């Protein structure tokens, strides 16, 4: 039975955090190193993903504990198992091995419980956390313009994986991945970009590095999206560009969204929100505005729409029911 079929029949329980369970073992530096990495040049304590190689029994025990407690899905111990995530410990070349070994351990644990109770299958989910380097903030307070990694670097890494290119060139039995790579675009330009033209220049670099599609930052005036599309075409960007839409739902968002996301609100929308006496009225205005935006975009031939729910999906559902 597939997981989709299983979900139609029962609620599946996901396991809990791996890190806190590892902390319960009070592991020291030598435990993280194991025999294989005794002479590694930098500290390894805290590199939890490495334990899939140096302490596989502990990782398997944690998986088994969650399964015993009732978990139907266990996650691999790979939260930081990317070459970028491993760079701090000078272990970039271990990214493939870490993912392979972690998946193997989790699969063995899941199979053990599935065989004990064949009527209740257990599943393994791959865990991919964010990188430990930010592409939009500087780690150096004295140099705000510095970036530890660029968006291009992030896209190139996934693009290379899709081509079967790994940092460790001596890997055996490596296979190309099949990730679809999406990047962000800004119809009203990114906050740090000196101009929209320069922002588009770097957006094209993301596409050249391997991006398959673009999702835009939220906007409230479709004219800005259509202008952005034309400018992107002139720049030579030909991948699909998916508009990002966000319905306003509270009075506070009238000031919060322009401040936080650096987007403009149309004067007509502002006046309608100001007339509202409470958030329920704002929610209705936000839904109506977003419905009209969506319909205009669909009429213009835009094949896909992306909605930013920001934790509240009921208004998105109301919009979708009217648009699709």
Model pLDDT for residues 241-276, shown as the tens digit of each residue: 999 999 999 999 999 999 999 999 999 999 999 999
Instruction: Retrieve residue 16's tokens.
Output: 């809990």
In the block, residue with structure tokens 């213009």: 300
pLDDT value of residue 172: 66
| Domain annotation covers residue 167 | no
| Residue of 73, 179, 71 lying closest to 127 (CA atoms) | 73
pTM for the full predicted model:
0.70
In the block, residue with structure tokens 């430990």: 132
In this structure, are 109 and 196 located in the same domain? no
Q: For the chain, what percent of residues have pLDDT higher than 90?
A: 73
**What are the tens digits of pLDDT across the range 40-87?**
999 999 999 999 999 999 999 999 999 999 999 999 999 999 888 898
Contacts of 208 (CB under 8 A, 6+ apart): none
132 pLDDT higher than 80 = no
| Domain annotation covers residue 148 | no
| Domain annotation covers residue 175 | no
| Domain annotation covers residue 80 | yes
In this structure, are 35 and 105 located in the same domain? yes
| Total count of residues recorded for the chain | 324
- CA–CA distance from 282 to each of 252, 262, 309 (Å)? 10, 20, 15
Instruction: Please list the residues that pair with 214 across neighbouring strands.
Output: 183, 241
236: left (phi over 0), alpha (psi -120 to 50) or beta: left
CB atoms within 10 A of CB 161: 23
Instruction: Retrieve residue 133's tokens.
Output: 């380097």
Question: Cα angle at 266 between 260 and 272, to 5 degrees?
Answer: 100
In this structure, are 209 and 80 located in the same domain? no
Q: Please, what is the angle between helix 267-275 and helix 253-261, to 10°?
A: 150
In the block, residue with structure tokens 């140099």: 143
In this structure, are 125 and 258 located in the same domain? no
In the block, residue with structure tokens 């660029």: 150
pLDDT value of residue 263: 96
In this structure, are 195 and 324 located in the same domain? yes
Q: What is the Cβ-side half-sphere exposure of residue 156, based on CA atoms within 13 angstroms?
A: 11
The CATH number given to whatever domain includes residue 237 is 3.20.20.220
Instruction: Please list the residues that pair with 124 across neighbouring strands.
Output: 74
Handedness of CA 310, 315, 316, 317 (dihedral sign): positive
136 pLDDT higher than 80 = no
215 vs 7: which has the higher pLDDT: 215
| Structural domain harbouring 200 | 180-324
168 vs 307: which has the higher pLDDT: 307
d(CA 63, CA 16): 10
104: left (phi over 0), alpha (psi -120 to 50) or beta: alpha
pLDDT confidence bin for 129, thresholds 50/70/90: confident
| Domain annotation covers residue 157 | no
In this structure, are 304 and 216 located in the same domain? yes
| Domain annotation covers residue 126 | yes
Give me the DSSP letters along 271-297.
HHHHH-SSHHHHHHHHHHHHHHHHHHH
**What are the tens digits of pLDDT across the range 149-187?**
777 888 888 888 888 887 667 766 678 888 899 999 999
287 pLDDT higher than 80 = yes
| Domain annotation covers residue 138 | no
Helices and strands (H and E) in the chain: how many: 14, 6
Report H helices in 172-251.
196-209, 222-235
In this prediction, residues 123-136 reach a mean pLDDT of 82
In this structure, are 223 and 111 located in the same domain? no
Burial 275-313 (b: 16+ CB within 10 A, else e): ebeeeeebbbbbbbbbbebbeebeeeebeebebbeeeee
d(CA 214, CA 77): 30
What value does the mean pLDDT of the chain take?
A: 91
In this structure, are 288 and 226 located in the same domain? yes
Among the ranges given (81-85, 101-105, 139-143), the one the predictor scored with the smallest mean pLDDT: 139-143
Task: Specify the number of domains making up the chain.
Answer: 2
pLDDT value of residue 187: 97
Q: For the chain, what percent of residues have pLDDT higher than 70?
A: 97
Select from 102, 130, 158 the last residue of a domain: 130
| Residue of 219, 184, 218 lying closest to 203 (CA atoms) | 184
């Amino acid at each position: 039975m597939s997981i989709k079929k299983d979900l139609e029949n029962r609620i599946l329980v996901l396991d809990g955090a791996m890190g806190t369970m590892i902390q319960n073992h009070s592991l020291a530096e030598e435990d993280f190193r194991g025999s294989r990495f005794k002479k590694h040049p930098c500290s390894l304590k805290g590199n939890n993903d490495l334990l899939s190689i140096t302490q596989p029994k502990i990782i398997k025990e944690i998986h088994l504990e969650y399964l015993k407690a009732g978990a139907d899905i266990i996650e691999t111990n790979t939260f930081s198992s990317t070459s970028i995530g491993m760079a701090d410990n000078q272990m970039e070349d271990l990214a493939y091995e870490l993912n392979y070994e972690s998946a193997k351990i989790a699969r063995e644990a899941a199979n053990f419980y599935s065989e004990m109770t064949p009527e209740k299958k257990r599943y393994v989910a791959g865990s991919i956390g964010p990188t430990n380097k930010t592409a939009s903030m500087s780690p150096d307070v004295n140099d705000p313009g510095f970036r530890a990694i660029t968006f291009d670097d992030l896209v190139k890494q996934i693009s290379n994986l899709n081509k079967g290119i790994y940092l460790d060139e001596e890997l055996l039995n490596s296979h190309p991945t099949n990730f679809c790579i999406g990047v962000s675009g800004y119809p009203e330009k990114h906050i740090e970009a000196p101009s929209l033209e320069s922002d588009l220049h770097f957006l094209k670099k993301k596409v050249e590095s391997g991006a398959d599609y673009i999702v835009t930052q939220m906007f409230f005036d479709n004219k800005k999206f259509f202008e952005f599309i034309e400018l992107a075409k002139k720049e030579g960007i030909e991948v699909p560009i998916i508009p990002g839409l966000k319905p306003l739902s509270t009075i506070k968002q009238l000031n919060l969204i322009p401040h936080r996301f650096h987007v403009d609100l149309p004067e007509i929308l502002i006046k309608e929100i100001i007339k509202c006496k409470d958030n329920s009225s704002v929610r209705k205005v936000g839904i109506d505005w977003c419905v009209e935006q969506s319909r205009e975009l669909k009429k213009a031939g835009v094949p896909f729409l992306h909605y930013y729910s920001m934790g509240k999906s009921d208004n998105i559902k109301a919009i979708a029911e009217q648009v699709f």
